[in-house]
Amino acid sequence: MIRFLTQVGLYFQFLKKVFSKPEKASVYYRQTMTEFVSLGLTSVGIISIVSFFMGAVITLQTAYNTENPIYPTYLIGLGCRDSIILEFSSTVAALILAGKVGSNIAGEIGTMRVTEQIDALEIMGINSASYLVLPKIIATLLFNPILTLISISIGIFGGWAAGTLSGVVTSENFIYGIQYAFIPYYITYSLIKTLFFAFIITSVSSFQGYYVNGGSLEVGRSSTKAVVYSSVLILMFNVILTQLLLS
């Protein structure tokens, strides 16, 4: 318990260091643009693929589980839309990003720690936590909502493709379903969750990498911890945010 509380305290001290005044805004801006590409743009592919198949399987599952003449088939489109917007594109995509981006961040910063690159930054008088982590946090906070919107669009498209190709729903009914009783706030809800999840993934993974002590074995362990802790926190905050935002 004491160890857990120590870690929590250290995490908040780390965040204080991360959010202190940047040394030189122009260098941070350049760094943020680099992170935009390495953490954001490179994730578009995996998010698109996963979202497409996620949308497809949701449509097929909904169709097979509501196979009853009293249910209109446009409900398949409605179910697909709400499932994707409310949960899959924010939470499931965040879990996937925790695996991809989280392990990447922890590995990168952890390697910098064990090869004394972080010490080199500190010697120069640079706040290493802020220089390394703040651009990553800003980049993911800006780009992950875009990823969520991409995921929603491709997920619904995947649902339409699977539904119409398998013949469980007509194109007209599916499109009617995704427009039926649409609540725009659900998109806002999904994007708010995405912002929280992006912050969790980046800060927790950076924290794990920043305090690595040892060699390559410990760097590997920190990557694993980054993914596990980020995933647990994402699921925990998913419950809290759902209660706060939808109740």
Q: Which is nearer to another protein, 27 or 33 (CB)?
A: 27
Q: Which is nearer to another protein, 97 or 118 (CB)?
A: 118
Least distance (Å) between residue 110 CB and another protein: 13
> Going by C-beta distance under 8 Å and a sequence separation of 6 or more, which residues neighbour residue 44?
147, 150
Least distance (Å) between residue 81 CB and another protein: 41
Least distance (Å) between residue 167 CB and another protein: 50
Q: Which is nearer to another protein, 20 or 166 (CB)?
A: 20
Q: Which is nearer to another protein, 25 or 70 (CB)?
A: 25
Least distance (Å) between residue 115 CB and another protein: 6
Q: Which is nearer to another protein, 67 or 116 (CB)?
A: 116
CB atoms within 10 A of CB 237: 18
> Going by C-beta distance under 8 Å and a sequence separation of 6 or more, which residues neighbour residue 8?
none
Q: Which is nearer to another protein, 42 or 115 (CB)?
A: 115
Least distance (Å) between residue 105 CB and another protein: 13
- Give me the residues that bind another protein (CB under 8 A), please: 23-24, 27, 111-112, 115-117, 119-120, 122-127
The rounded Cα 192 to chain-centroid distance in angstroms is 12
> Going by C-beta distance under 8 Å and a sequence separation of 6 or more, which residues neighbour residue 129?
14, 17, 18, 206, 210
Least distance (Å) between residue 227 CB and another protein: 22
